[in-house]
């Protein structure tokens, strides 16, 4: 008793932090009006977190692209802070300390879900025909009206 080394202490801190972080993700899903049970399964949690932050669950496939996945995870933590009403500074801190900022955003009453910022698909004009949206570079009249 009392014969603990630094490895045991850090392991205990890691498990406690991960447990609180898992509860925080559960609370984030409640704040965003999603079923909190999606937070229990890791890949489903990431897909719905992409939906909360970016507006599309399909962006989870970006995690399978080598080296881009590192950028994507950093962007996901940054945009999570912004989606819940945080500032850009808090988003930058969230890149360095994701579990701590997630816990702060989840349990602080100041942070409410405001929706995703700047959708990844841009400003699409859905009133135009499909081909003019696909071949935007060929439709010069449409390009002049947009700019």
Residues 92, 126 within the same domain: no
Which pLDDT score, from 0 to 100, does residue 3 have?
73
Q: Where are the alpha helices (DSSP H) in the chain?
A: 6-31, 42-53, 68-83, 88-96, 98-107, 130-134, 140-146
Work out whether the CA dihedral 69, 75, 81, 84 comes out positive or negative: negative
The domain containing residue 78 runs over which residues?
Answer: 6-116
Contacts 24+ apart (CB under 8 A), 125-128: none
Q: What is the mean pLDDT of the chain?
A: 82
Residues 72, 134 within the same domain: no
Hunting for tokens 């579990």 — which residue is that?
A: 99
% of the chain at pLDDT higher than 70 = 78
| Backbone phi, psi, residue 22, to 5° | -65, -40
Hunting for tokens 């489903």 — which residue is that?
A: 44
Which pLDDT score, from 0 to 100, does residue 118 have?
59
Query: What mean pLDDT comes out for the span 22-29?
Result: 92
d(CA 53, CA 141): 34
Residues 84, 28 within the same domain: yes
**Domain annotation covers residue 1:** no
Which pLDDT score, from 0 to 100, does residue 115 have?
82
């Amino acid at each position: 008793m009392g014969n603990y080394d630094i490895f045991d202490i850090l392991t205990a801190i890691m498990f406690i932090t991960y447990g609180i972080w898992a509860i925080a993700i559960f609370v984030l899903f409640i704040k965003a009006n999603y079923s909190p049970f999606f937070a229990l399964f890791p890949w489903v949690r990431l897909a719905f977190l992409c939906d909360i932050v970016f507006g599309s669950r399909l962006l989870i496939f970006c995690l399978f692209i080598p080296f881009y996945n590192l950028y994507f995870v950093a962007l996901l933590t940054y945009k999570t802070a912004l989606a819940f009403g945080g500032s850009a500074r808090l988003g930058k801190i969230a890149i360095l300390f994701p579990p701590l900022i997630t816990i702060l955003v989840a349990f602080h009453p100041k942070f409410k879900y405001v929706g995703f910022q700047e959708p990844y698909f841009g400003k699409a004009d859905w009133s135009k025909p499909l081909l003019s949206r696909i071949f935007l570079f060929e439709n010069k009249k449409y390009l002049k009206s947009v700019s």
